[in-house]
Chains A and B, each alone.
Chain A
Amino acid sequence: MVPVTYYITLSAVLFTIGALGVLVRRNPLIIFMSIELMLNAANLAFVAFANAHGDLRGQVFVFFVIAVAAAEVAVGLALIVAIYRSRRSINVDEMSSLKG
């Protein structure tokens, strides 16, 4: 029997790798993938706790997280395509038009 803390530790480490990806990479597509990795780490913790407590509502919440992530990716990738059209570049360091 695997203790639930193992799953939680794995989830925490995966979340950290995702956060590190957002911090160090400059490609917005990789940053988006890192965000998806963080969402997945949170989902893993949800499902592990749902199992440990014998409560299905954790799994239902993961279902909603997956639906919201799909919407988020569609809009986010559309934004990246629109930015690429207007600036011919997707480097996040160059997206500084709003800076005063």
Chain B
Amino acid sequence: MTVELILFIVLALVALATAVGMLISRNAVYSALFLVLNFATIAVFYLLLSAPFIAMAQVTVYAGAIMVLFLFVIMLLGGDQLAPSKALPWQRPLAFTLALLLASEAIYLLLFRGRPAGGIQPAGEIFGSPVNIGTLLFNSFLLPFEVTSVLLLVAMVGAIVLTKREKGEAG
């Protein structure tokens, strides 16, 4: 039982517990806070997998920007507590059955049908460093990178247009 394995097990338990907490919380604000914790543990996983740049991007973009946006909208709409509806009574057992099926199928395929891929290398300083990521990003992936900037611009304009009030519209 190495230190890395113990760390992995503890972090995996935290990640699973926060994911389930996000799922079963009645209050949407609690769900969002559970998800922030989940993103933070996944960022630590990225550090263990020698991806420090991705880990920092995860913390700033996901745990920072995206979840703040979520909390802002939850509080703006006041939709933090929605009464459970009973529109489809058979939906819940069916959903659990299908989810169990999906999990067993995914784990079976990944573990027993995929190619064995060995172990995780000990975290190297060089492998996932910002320098290496940047070199790859601006050489092999320059066009996707630029297209991403256009995508973000379009998303920004779209979000503003969607939420803008028409002239003379009340409320």
Contact = CB atoms under 8 A, between A and B. Distances in A.
A47 B159 contact: no
Interface string B100-119: 00110011001100100111
Interface string B77-94: 101001011010001100
Contacts of A77: 69-70, 73, 159
Contacts of B38: 37, 40
B69 A74 contact: yes
Contacts of A57: 136, 140
A47 B121 CA distance: 12
A7 B120 contact: yes
B89 to A, nearest CB: 12
B133 A56 contact: yes
Contacts of A59: 51, 53-54, 128, 133
Given A52-B117, A56-B136, A59-B133, A37 B35 contact: yes
A81 B28 CA distance: 15
B98 A23 contact: yes
B61 A70 contact: yes
Provide the main secondary structure of the chain B interface.
helix
Contacts of A8: 110-111, 114
A45 to B, nearest CB: 8
Interface residues of B, number: 83
Contact of B163 (A6, A10, A27, A82): A82
Interface string B14-45: 01100110110000100110010011001001
Provide the main secondary structure of the chain A interface.
helix
- Tell me which of B49, B99, B117, B137 has the highest count of chain A C-beta atoms within 10 A of its own C-beta: B49
A73 B70 contact: yes
Given A30-B28, A67-B151, A82-B163, A16 B102 contact: yes
Contact of A1 (B65, B84, B122): B122
Contacts of B15: 10, 14
B23 to A, nearest CB: 5
B148 A3 contact: no
Contact of B82 (A16, A26, A32, A33): A26
A20 B144 contact: no
B107 A9 contact: yes
Interface of A: 1-10, 12-21, 23-27, 29-30, 32-34, 36-37, 40, 43-44, 47-54, 56-57, 59-60, 62-64, 66-75, 77-82, 84-85, 90-91, 93
Give the 3 A-B CB pairs with smallest separation, nearest first: A71-B155, A23-B95, A78-B162
